[in-house]
Structure 1
Amino acid sequence: MQLDVVVGFFILGALAQLVRSDLRLPTGLYQSCVIFLLLAIGLKGGAALSTYSASTLIPQSLAILAFGALLPLLAFPLLYWIGKWSRLDAAATAAHYGSVSVATYAVAVALLEAKGIDYEAYFPLFVALLEVPAIVVGILLARKSMQNSNKGRLAHELTCNQGVLLLLGGIAIGAWAGERTATVMPFFGQLFHGVLALFLLEMGRVAAARLADVRGQGAFLLSFGIFMPLLGGAAGGALGALLGLSAGGIFLLAVLGSSASYIAVPAAMSVALPQANASVSITLSLAITFPFNVLVAIPVYLAFVQHWS
């Protein structure tokens, strides 16, 4: 099992935090990396959309939306009945695990491209589609807690937050421009792995900084933070096989099912469920699930898919 080179930067960032180094990406550079990655992923996917028919994309997109609604329904009982969490905290955290981590997806794409493995180029569309259903289901699971929420502000956050806007905007520009995206792809394409490496350097530091929170919350956080990605990854891989995706596509859908949001969903939950304990959700998704996916799950999923394909 071989890790992609960009994972080394994540490990370096984590080590820097653990030895209490003053290493830290400037806030502006970190935000620039986020914007770059979202636009790069969206542009590439959008440019590929014109080569696929609606008869292929629509059924698959509907299946992806249903998948995004299913994942929080799998996570909620584990948190509510086994973890004995409050309905509010269980619903908010379940929404994190129904949505996706664009950074985790970017690592998976980087690994496929490094190994020369093909996948369906319209996958960024699926990434965008998976952002919203889990948030809606999480709110419905919380039920009574959304009575005092600002529904107008929530609707704006769902559709206009940075992640969704940049990803959908990149897809729209790529689909509109088609082959003309070649004029900007030397920037968004060739620099992708380098920018991802810088982003993961900071993510490693941030994840390591939350390890103390994991120790303070007990064994259940660690168990859920590892078991739920495996459950979501298995469901994603099975769905990919049912949809007839390529080996690379099955792998990517498993990765999306395994990931957990730490950007889009926290922003939406802060509006919809402000009383929920946001720190525990972020600790789970960022300090446990993200490192587990990057260091363990992604190479294991790829090895498994390659063996059975």
Structure 2
Amino acid sequence: MNPLQNLLDPAILFFVFGVVAGLLRSNLEVPPQIARFLSLYLLMSVGLKGGFSLAHSGLGADVLGSLGAALLLALLVPALGYLLLRKWLSRFDAAAVAATYGSVSATTFIAASQYLAQLQVPFGGHMAVALVLMESPAILMAMALAAWARRQQASEQGGSVASTPGLGAQAPAPSHWHVVREAFTDGANLLLLGSLLIGWATGDQGKLMMEPFSGALFKGMLALFLLDLGLLVARQLPALRQVHPALIGYGIVGPLTHGLIAMGLAAMLSLPVGDTILLVVLAASSSYIVVPAVLRHAMPEAQPGLYLGLSLGVTFVFNILIGIPLYAWVVQRVWS
């Protein structure tokens, strides 16, 4: 399939339509509770499909290799990102953006899975586990970087930092245990992992019973969810006017670089084509739900409009429209 043919996918076109409608300031909207339901439905469906697939494949060398590579990427990407972003951003903003790009986007993963299904490229159900594993390490690394930055700030000012300019009196940062618990008990992560375990435990019988729910309805639900995300993207775009042009470039070049690193790891481990594509997609994605929600409380010194605007307004749009088919095309050519 030609990479540009992805733009003719109805779900992708609904995303583009949502962006256009938002930019036109239409009153079109998906009610928040409906949007929440769609998110839960998609996560549950992906988890079930992954579990059904995992029941067939088992835990072989490819599975363990993929999960190990995912964990390594979850630590490597934010570390490299922080070192680069410090050229343009404060310690806290650099840590927040690095954590956002070190984590993953479930929606991007779902769209990539659907794209591979269209191409009839098989992939392992364990990649849904990789999605869960890659969500939290970047948050923990950001917390460590934030704690170090606060110590540096206190040392430079000759004492403890009681407040941050523009924030007034600053509440104590949450404990690392609180952040770990919040990251691992996030509802989206739990639903995805729980659905995967249920799919794995029930196997073919469960797949037959759940097929009308997790199969036939999936494409339409994804299209409606992407319509809502298009409207959300349109609301985030004005915040990017104040962003340094180099950061806009990072929102595209960064994911491409992360994807190349993932491809190199996959080549070293001789991973199958489908698993490699999804690993590249995960490495190239960025979080715009879980990580920003945690960082708002765990790192109040950072600017939410910056890390959320870049993730959703630049990287997510690039991956949905261009990135996913591009990654699949490159991997297929290299692996053939």
Q: 1:93 aligned to 2:97?
A: yes
Q: In structure 1, what is the equivalent of residue 110 of structure 2?
A: 106
Among 67, 70, 73, the residue aligned to 2:76: 70
Shift of 1:145: 5.5
Q: In structure 2, what is the equivalent of residue 222 of structure 1?
A: 248
Q: CA RMSD in A?
A: 1.7
Q: In structure 2, what is the equivalent of residue 156 of structure 1?
A: 181
Shift of 1:245: 1.9
8 A Cα contact 1:33 1:195, kept in partner: yes
Q: 1:61 aligned to 2:86?
A: no
Using the alignment, how far apart are the partners of 1:146 and 1:32 within structure 2?
Answer: 39
8 A Cα contact 2:66 2:275, kept in partner: no
Using the alignment, how far apart are the partners of 2:204 and 2:331 within structure 1?
Answer: 31
Among 132, 135, 149, the residue aligned to 2:136: 132
Runs of at least 5 residues in structure 1 that lack an aligned partner in the other structure: none
Q: What letter corresponds to residue 263 of structure 1 in structure 2?
A: I
CA distance 1:289–1:196, change in 2 (3 Å)? same
Query: Could you list the per-position Cα deviations for residues 253-280 of structure 1 after superposition, in whole angstroms to 9, with x for gaps in the alignment?
Result: 1111110001111122233223221221
Q: In structure 2, what is the equivalent of residue 16 of structure 1?
A: 21
Q: How many residues align?
A: 307
TM-score by length of 2: 0.87
Shift of 1:238: 1.9
Using the alignment, how far apart are the partners of 1:104 and 1:155 within structure 2?
Answer: 24
Q: What letter corresponds to residue 218 of structure 1 in structure 2?
A: H
8 A Cα contact 1:120 1:245, kept in partner: no
Using the alignment, how far apart are the partners of 2:55 and 2:121 within structure 1?
Answer: 21
Using the alignment, how far apart are the partners of 2:73 and 2:85 within structure 1?
Answer: 19
Q: What letter corresponds to residue 242 of structure 2 in structure 1?
A: G
Using the alignment, how far apart are the partners of 2:332 and 2:11 within structure 1?
Answer: 21
Q: What letter corresponds to residue 16 of structure 2 in structure 1?
A: I
8 A Cα contact 2:66 2:127, kept in partner: no
Q: 1:177 aligned to 2:180?
A: no
Q: In structure 1, what is the equivalent of residue 38 of structure 2?
A: 33
Q: 1:50 aligned to 2:52?
A: no
8 A Cα contact 1:145 1:273, kept in partner: no
Q: 1:278 aligned to 2:301?
A: no
8 A Cα contact 2:71 2:134, kept in partner: yes
8 A Cα contact 2:69 2:266, kept in partner: no
Query: Could you list the per-position Cα deviations for residues 111-160 of structure 1 after superposition, in whole angstroms to 9, with x for gaps in the alignment?
Result: 11112111222210111111011111122222235783222432321111
8 A Cα contact 2:67 2:127, kept in partner: no
Runs of at least 5 residues in structure 2 that lack an aligned partner in the other structure: 152-171
CA distance 1:39–1:268, change in 2 (3 Å)? same
Q: In structure 2, what is the equivalent of residue 168 of structure 1?
A: 193
Using the alignment, how far apart are the partners of 1:108 and 1:101 within structure 2?
Answer: 11
Using the alignment, how far apart are the partners of 1:185 and 1:133 within structure 2?
Answer: 33
Q: Which moved more, 1:8-17 or 1:72-81?
A: 72-81
8 A Cα contact 1:214 1:221, kept in partner: no
Shift of 1:53: 4.1
How many percent of aligned residue pairs carry the same amino acid? 37
8 A Cα contact 2:53 2:200, kept in partner: yes
TM-score by length of 1: 0.94
Using the alignment, how far apart are the partners of 1:231 and 1:180 within structure 2?
Answer: 41
8 A Cα contact 1:71 1:98, kept in partner: yes
Among 2, 6, 14, the residue aligned to 2:5: 2
